[in-house]
């Protein structure tokens, strides 16, 4: 059985997308499905490459028993060939992903969607970037992502 590959994408890959990745891994572990998936996260920007997730996001996630372990990286052309699902956190990154995909002839297999297409509880059409806000913004982003990431998993199960 071929593994399902999922890539979560935000701007810098230190807040939203690593949180989405960790939430998804946590859900898969609870359902004993981790061996069926390849999961990663990336950013459309390059300025945080190699860094751990924002400490405020790590702390907020840890309070929910979610461990964010990834290091920031920038999306690459190879990702469009290797991942079945590429999930953007907001409209800007979604448009950037579509532009990148349209310039790659071998990228037909990647399905690019906005993570908020899978929300069921929260009204936000985008996952807000908590980077420049206060600590409560990180908790709100986790609430939003727990909802939409769960919805995504349900949609492909």
Q: What is the pLDDT of residue 51?
A: 97
The encoded tokens of residue 154 equal 């349900």
> In sequence order, which residues have a C-beta less than 8 Å from that of residue 71 and are 6 or more positions away?
50, 51, 52
Q: What is the pLDDT of residue 103?
A: 80
Confidence of residue 135 (pLDDT cuts 50, 70, 90): confident
Beta bridge partners of 83: none
pLDDT of 27 > 80? The answer is yes
> Crossing angle for the helix pair 16-30 and 135-156, nearest 10 degrees?
50
Q: What is the pLDDT of residue 107?
A: 58
Q: What is the pLDDT of residue 106?
A: 63
The encoded tokens of residue 145 equal 């992502």
Which residue from 7, 11, 45 is spatially nearest to 25, judged by alpha carbons? 7
CA angle 124, 149, 71 (to 5 degrees): 105
| pLDDT tens digits, one per residue of 44-99 | 999 999 999 999 999 999 999 999 999 999 999 999 999 999 999 999 999 999 99
Q: What is the pLDDT of residue 102?
A: 85
Residues with catalytic roles: 10, 16, 129
Confidence of residue 105 (pLDDT cuts 50, 70, 90): low
28 neighbors 3 (Cβ within 8 angstroms): no
Interval 38-46 mean pLDDT: 96
Q: What is the pLDDT of residue 110?
A: 87
Interval 133-153 mean pLDDT: 95
Pick 4-156's CATH classification: 3.40.50.10860, 3.20.20.70, 3.40.228.10, 3.40.50.2300: 3.40.50.2300
From CA 14, how far away is CA 45, in angstroms rounded?
11
Q: What are phi and psi of 152, to 5 degrees?
A: -65, -45
Share the mean pLDDT of the chain. Answer: 94
Extents of the domains making up the chain: 4-156
Q: Transcribe 120-153 into DSSP letters.
A: SS---SS----TTS-HHHHHHHHHHHHHHHHHHH
Q: What is the pLDDT of residue 157?
A: 85
């Amino acid at each position: 059985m071929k593994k399902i590959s999922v890539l979560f994408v935000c701007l810098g890959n230190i807040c939203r997308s690593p949180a989405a990745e960790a939430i998804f891994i946590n859900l898969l572990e609870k359902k004993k499905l981790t061996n069926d998936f390849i999961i990663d996260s990336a950013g459309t920007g390059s300025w945080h490459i190699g860094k751990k997730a924002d400490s405020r996001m790590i702390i907020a996630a840890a309070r929910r028993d979610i461990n964010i372990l990834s290091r920031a990286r920038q999306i690459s052309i190879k990702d469009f060939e290797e991942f079945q699902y590429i999930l953007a956190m907001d409209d800007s990154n979604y448009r950037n992903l579509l532009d990148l995909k349209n310039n790659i002839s071998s990228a037909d297999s990647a399905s690019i969607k906005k993570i908020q297409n899978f929300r069921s509880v929260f009204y936000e059409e985008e996952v807000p970037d908590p980077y420049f806000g206060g600590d409560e913004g990180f908790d709100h982003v986790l609430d939003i992502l727990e909802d939409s990431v769960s919805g995504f998993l349900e949609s492909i199960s």
